[in-house]
Amino acid sequence: MGSGRRRVSAGLPDFPWDLLEPSKRRAAAHPDGIVDLSIGTPVDPVPAIIRKALSEASDSPGYPLTAGTAELRQEITAWTARACRAEPGFSVLPSIGSKELVAWLPTLLGLGPDDTVVIPEVCYPTYEVGVRLAGARVLRADAPPTGERPALIWINSPGNPHGRVASADELRAWVEYARDTDAVLVSDECYLTLPWTAQPESVLSVCDGDYTGVLAVHSLSKRSNLAGYRAGFVAGDPEVVGELLAVRKHAGMIMPAPVQAAMIAALADETHADEQRIRYAARRELLLPALLSAGFTVDHSEAGLYLWATRGEACWDTTDWFADRGILVAPGEIYGPKGARHVRVALTATDERVRTAVARLS
């Protein structure tokens, strides 16, 4: 690249999974192969009802709608009303997976160097990436920060990586703070339908039908094993959703028509989601006691797809300990400085690989 051109990537952190490559090679050297509990990518089959809908919509030569078909918007709205206990008055918009929306939301909202974006102390790295892409300022905070007037606030419950569930009172406090400071509040709720020891609530459920300045982001990646389909959506304030739609139409951010059809089938069916939740629960019931028996403390982990484990040492030392046993986990430091003494252990491995991990831990 010529010296007169700015390198966009220069201001971004290292890609988290690139940092794990040495540990991955170390774990892969185990005689019985690696057990990868790092990236939370689904490993179970896409349900047949969804694959059928995708196939039947495959003859789609025309441009799809950025807003999604009327049928898709209707199904997203119905699901959001059920799962998020949202009252009428919100708007919805499909996204090409949730990560795309997270990364580009500050830019889509027109944020820049004069704006501050609040993200959780320990969180999904793409929140920070999105802020940096927009050239805005990052502020990490787990409670409404005093003396600040942010333009955008990210909250995440159940949390990634730690699985903490925010209470209804906490959600209401964030809504009130956002409105007092004229910020847009966005709740990442991609793990809402995976409760274990606590029942998560959507931010939409505490708005009393007034969604001004409030959005909720959802994904079908984990609920329906659709990470490969890139199927997500945002719901909330009609004015903000309308602005996102207008910009996304210009930018060509359009979910493919066959994926829209598959998403309709996925949202209309709860049976497959219940079955997948049972699979993850069974894996959690194996891994959690194995970690405790191996001397780990597991913090939070009340919902979602991860166990947030610590032995009170530097996370990279813990990562090496696992790698020596052929198990790859995610060091907590990649989720923020306050994660530096934890590792994230994912439930997204086959039953056979989970049993193998348990045997190695014991």
Q: Residue 8 has what pLDDT?
A: 59
Q: pLDDT for 113-165, tens place per residue?
A: 999 999 999 999 999 999 999 999 999 999 999 999 999 999 999 999 999 99
Cα dihedral: 95, 100, 105, 106 (round 10): -170
Q: Work out the pLDDT band at 1, boundaries 50, 70, 90.
A: very low
For residue 3, is pLDDT > 60?
no
Interval 273-280 mean pLDDT? 97
Tell me the pLDDT tens digit for each residue of 306-324: 999 999 999 999 999 999 9
Q: Is 140 helix (H, G, I), strand (E, B) or coil?
A: strand
Peptide bond into 161 cis (omega under 30): yes
Give the integer Cα–Cα distance in Å for 228 and 232.
11
d(C-alpha 153, C-alpha 141), whole Å: 10
CA–CA gap between residue 340 and residue 128 (Å, rounded): 17
Give first-to-last CA distance, the chain, whole Å.
Answer: 51
Collapsing DSSP states into helix, strand and coil, what is residue 207? coil
Strands (E), 8-115: 35-36, 91-95
Set out the domains of the chain in order of their start, with CATH numbers: 11-45+272-361 (3.90.1150.10), 58-268 (3.40.640.10)
The helix/strand/coil state of 153 is strand
Task: Give the pLDDT score at 166.
Answer: 97
pLDDT tens, position by position, 65-82? 999 999 999 999 999 999
| Strand bridging mode 330-331 / 327-328 | unpaired
> Which band of pLDDT confidence, cut at 50, 70 and 90, is reported for residue 6?
low
Query: Is the pLDDT at 25 greater than 80, yes or no?
Result: yes
DSSP assignment letter at 8: G
- Average pLDDT over the chain reads 95
Can you give the pLDDT at residue 5? 59
Residue 7, pLDDT > 70, answer: no
pLDDT average, residue stretch 184-195: 97
β-pairing verdict for 152-156 and 184-188: parallel
For 244-260, write each residue's pLDDT tens digit.
999 999 999 999 999 99
Q: pLDDT, tens digit, for every residue of 165-179?
A: 999 999 999 999 999
